[in-house]
Structure 1
Amino acid sequence: MFKLILNFGATVNTEELILCNSFSGLEMGKCIVPPNILPIGPLLASQEFKKPKGYFWKENTSCITWLDKQPPNSVIYIAFGSLAMFDHCQFEELTLGLELSGKRFLWAVRPGFTGEENVGFLARFRSRVEGRGMIVSWAPQPQVLAHCSIACFMSHCGWNSTLEGLANGVPFLCWPYFAEQYINQGYICD
């Protein structure tokens, strides 16, 4: 990450124009943008539903059918991107919080999310929240965030997730993990 930031700094000083996946309404007043950076976004991973692009895992589209059966603005969508890792304690606390909340939720728990297998724990959790909670390994996020049943988005605040949530006007519950995600959280909260 440090090397990437150093390379970016050198690039900003040598390139004539750099296109940036952002928009001036989001960036203005928050930071000083060098004159050779042109915000042209938001550019979302997929502008067309049913044609996923840029995802690491196969999407489970059965969650859309499940969302279709939920009341408007009733489901918490939870996704922490492709890099965030929880230890088992954080994972367990989140599951217990979701269970105790009594709220409907859709949670994308990708393979390796905790760095260990939680098959038994996850199976017991699923049985306790059956009917009001759905867990998938990967969701078609742009389509999920555009769904009328989504009430809010619990996110790691990665840039793509931030833009997708903002583009759909979805309120956020922020849980940043590392790097720029803390800055993105500031954008969201401010």
Structure 2
Amino acid sequence: MVTSKSKANVLMLKKLLIFTLVMFVFGYALVPFYEKFCEVTGINNLLQADVRVKDNWVDEERWITVQFDANTRGLPWQFKPLQTSARIHPGEPVNVMYEITNDSDREINGQAIPSYSPRFLDKHLKKFECFCFTKQVLKPNETRQMPVQFVIEPNLPADIDTVTISYTFFELPGS
């Protein structure tokens, strides 16, 4: 004999299962919306390597000075570019090395966030390789050199002759 309490429990279980299924489908459907939102707002530039530009030409008539900067926030790390600036032609691929040292006696996870000057530089900067795309884990007293490979497109406004690429490392939770 099924009691009304048992019927109520079965009904509640069915409702919870349906609710769970609906929430799973909703969460799964948000992925393409989130990716599109990131693409439109430019957030993806912080998370993924840029695609190599095909048929990129080098403007050999023009020079740009690229200044490199490195900072840490709340980390016992030394972080610096191995060269502070480079003089390049727009469209010319550039390779720069940064060096980082964990001065602590513990393993630390960090993530670098880029920033640019002028602010719109990100529209003309295409990175092929960058340590900022992934979490960096440094063991105690470890030193590591990390490359950044990029190109500044020739369509950068002609009145810009100096740009700055800066990276700031932050400690990731759970270190």
TM over 0.5: no
Structure having the larger proportion of residues in helix: 1
Normalising by structure 1, we get a TM-score of 0.22
Structure having the larger proportion of residues in strand: 2
**Bigger relative contact order, structure 1 or 2 (CA pairs below 8 A, ≥6 apart):** 2
Normalising by structure 2, we get a TM-score of 0.24
